[in-house]
Amino acid sequence: MTQQIFDLRPFPGSNVPTDVRITTRVERRSNLLTVRYSLKDSSSLIAIPLMVDPSQRKSKLWEETCFECFAAKKPGFSNEYWEFNLSPSGNWNVYRFDAYRQAMKAEVGFSALPFRVNRAQESLTLEVEIDLGKIGLRDVPVQVGITAVVKLKTGDVSYWALAHCGKQPDFHLRESFVIEL
């Protein structure tokens, strides 16, 4: 078991309230990747999508507040990678790419992506367990990027990640998949 805790950082120059903080816990047990996001917002300025029932696969979740995770085999093994989108609404999606932003398609290995969302007055937590075996990453070293898109009630959007490796926010850059499990 490997568990690590990180703070996400907004892209430099983003319009973000000073009291917003996003902490993540990442853990791998065999083929199970668990990611827990904790969002603190004592200003209540973040626009949080309302819960839907039932949750469903939905496109373009990144247009609202959304938590994301990227997973790939270590470089040299393959250029393909996966993007997991998780909305506080309960909606989700998983995409597969052949290489950097190429051949994006819905990943058919997942017909559901159950995760838990807990809301409190000034915080939100979201925890997902991803079966890496469903995408051929069982028993292989993986690189992971943990990110979030945060939309304020004003409409301003900020991009949060463990590492910002480009001149513009770009979660797909492999150099930003900084966690090795």
* Mean predicted lDDT score pLDDT of the chain: 93
Give whole-number Cα distances, 145 to 17, 120, 180, in Å.
24, 26, 9
61 phi and psi angles, rounded to 5 deg: -65, -25
- Residues 90 and 109: their CA atoms lie apart, in Å, by 19
Is the Cβ–Cβ distance between 26 and 144 less than 8 Å? yes
Q: What domains, with CATH codes, occur in the chain?
A: 2-180 (2.60.40.1190)
Mean pLDDT on 77-94: 94
Q: Model confidence over 136-179: pLDDT tens digits? A: 998 899 999 999 999 999 999 999 999 999 999 999 999 999 99
Is the Cβ–Cβ distance between 134 and 110 less than 8 Å? yes
Q: Examine the pLDDT at 117 and tell me if it is beyond 60.
A: yes
